[in-house]
Chain A
Amino acid sequence: MRSLLLLLGRVRAFVVRDFQLAVSYRLEFFMRILSILFVTTTLFFISRIFKDSFSTPFEQWRDPFLAWITALPFLNYFMVGFSSLANAIRSEQAQGTLESVLMTPINIPTLIVSSSAWDFVQATFHSFLYLFFGWALFGVEYRGNFLLACLFLLLTTLVLASIGILSASFAMVFKRGDPLGLIIGTGSALFSGVFFPVQLMSEMAGSGFRIVSRLIPTTYGIDGIRRVLIQGQTFAEARQPLLTLLAYLAVLLPFSLWVFSRAVRRAKREGSLIQY
């Protein structure tokens, strides 16, 4: 119980610190809200081009605006899961504060959870804004079980956070040039069906692309969330992407924690913790 309270106290300290740092850049906060509004509005008007003349065999894509508005905020969330820790490590290294944080009696899992906490708070707010603008300004109606959608969100985020821990390990040792950032970061938008159905890509460009798409966990997360929020599927109907995400998590989470602790040890051996 005491260690749980200690963990929560430390997570809170990181969230408060990052909030204080964020409000020290007030303009950025408002610009981000404005940019979400602009993106949502742009997507709405692009979708109007196809209005009344759009027919598609892909059930989730009958209203493209709905497909985009359900995928974008979650992609944003997943990317935070993936990139927040590596960014936090890079940022602490660049600022020179990583050593002073690691001088405190904080363990590696606590550092991982705490460093990313604020980014998740922010991503939750931003994701909510996408959905809120879609509903309030453009009349989007969401269906299905929100709890199930949240389960998909949580699972996918954890899977991507595990890959993020691997990415952070890379940042810890090699500082820059993280290949996972390229593959998962830019690849997710292309291969996971955020802007178009993944089936289209394999039909036109070959089955190789479908394999890549199937290897990226974001594909299952976005598919699952659309199944729930657009098609209104139940737990039993949407279990296939759910089980796939669970399998990813079971393998990646322990592996990434092990790699990260090795990376910290290596940086300590090389004396390169503070280098960026």
Chain B
Amino acid sequence: MTRTQRWGLWAALLFVPVVFFGLFFVHPLVTIFDVSLRPNGVLDLSGFIKIVTSSYYRDTLFFTIFQATVSTLLTIALALPGAYIVTRYTFPGKQLLLSLSILPVVLPSVVVATAFSALLGARGVVNTFLMSVFALTDPPIQLERSLILILIVHVFYNYAVGLRIISGYWANQSWRIEEAARILGCEGWRLWWYVRLPMLRPAILAASVLIFIFSFTSFGAILILGGLRFATIEVQIYYQAMNIFNLPLAAALSLVQMGLMFGLMWVYSGLQRRIPRDWQSAQQVARRPRTLRERLIVGGTVAFMILFLLIPLLALVFRSLTVGKEGLSFDYYTMLAQNPRDSILFVPPQNAIFNSLTFAGLTMIMATGLGLILSIAIQRPGRFARFLDAFVMIPLATSAVTLGFGYLVGLDEPPLALRSSWVILPLAHTLVAIPFVVRSILPALRSIQPSVQDAAITLGASPLRRWWRVDLPLISRGLAVGAAFAFTASMGEFGASLFLVRPDTPTIPTVIYRFLSQPGIANYGQALAMSVVLMLVCGVGFLTVDRLRSAGMGEF
């Protein structure tokens, strides 16, 4: 194969993801611009001006920023002690605890929201227990529809992000710095204030921006736990578009959201560049806690992590078996297969499991394939690669709700009349998943020594054979991590699905939401049971990611 032919083949390959992004990302977003700024074919900024002027929508923006800020501060404050003991001490079960800490990353927001409702809600474990012990008629803890519960869920979600970024950076810092500070007379809180925190600043900043982005665009948890009273921009976009069909306003909100998120993503990638990628040089200084005080600190933090990360999930499983029943029963699980009202419009919930698995499988294949091509393109030198690197991350900043909304308005005319086809869901999920896939493959690609590739070439391997025999085997773990991420991302995807799902092909998260929004203990019980099912499926994804993590999780 000549150089020109190779170039042609490569260009043809790269054409696929470029077209995909053009049709299923740029086009829907441009349509949002169109709907927002030119609602009747002419430039009309009234929807936009309405946002800026109306206090109601300003409050929405303010509340979104407020809850994201508080979530971020809380998460960082709680993750810092965790990062400290993880970098500083060894203790039995440390690896297990670290693995456990990434579990929330792959758990769907619907599951997490349901789990916390099963733990702290009116019918939750804690309230039922308190009511039976103190013979109360009303649940004593009223957290449902409260900001506190939303904040707790956000911390739960982002704890691992803070822990990983900060402890990864910390392990790379020389402990000599701290020892030097000590010899110079710096101890206790002054050590934190003058040495540790300033030293960790790049990591804390990067983690904060990422957690802020995630909390800002949080949708499922807020919709389920807060309702419209705590409407963030995301929830407003959904409400305006789906409930009162005010498309121009929803579009205007999406624009504001996108603008803010792009800015923050830009800041984040700038911060991330300052953090070295090579964790291998991390010095191993962790040791067992010796004094009683050290044991208390380590034990307390570990106990907090276990309680905080595991108890909600256990409560979910427990309540799915007990809610509204005497003793344990699998009734809600068997109900998932039944059609109680014998309605012809009713789809048995178990079909949703099949749908979700099918969509997730398709998403995994598409996202891994496209992500691989994009990763290779990003890995090449040049300005185009740098542009692509930033561009591929944009879906992460575009919220799933915006994306779903964009599909709704952008893909409803031939030749792209996909709005009523089931295909639209895996397409949306693929876009959501691609940043995760690329971020899983890139570190593996970057860690291939150039001399290893040159060695293959001088030993007689043509570029294609080199790719097949050397590069591909070396990135296979990163590829598998990316595929597992894509699969779980699709399984749990909620924001875009809520816009795009067809009544006859529901997915697991949309079915859970439907159950939750209907009254009655039977619906609640089935929501819990379905959440457990989803948690188990994502748990498999989690195990895959965890087993391969050392190779590929580098950039999150």
Q: Do A and B bind each other?
A: no
A residues neighboring B (CB under 8 Å): none
- B-side residues, CB < 8 A to A, are none
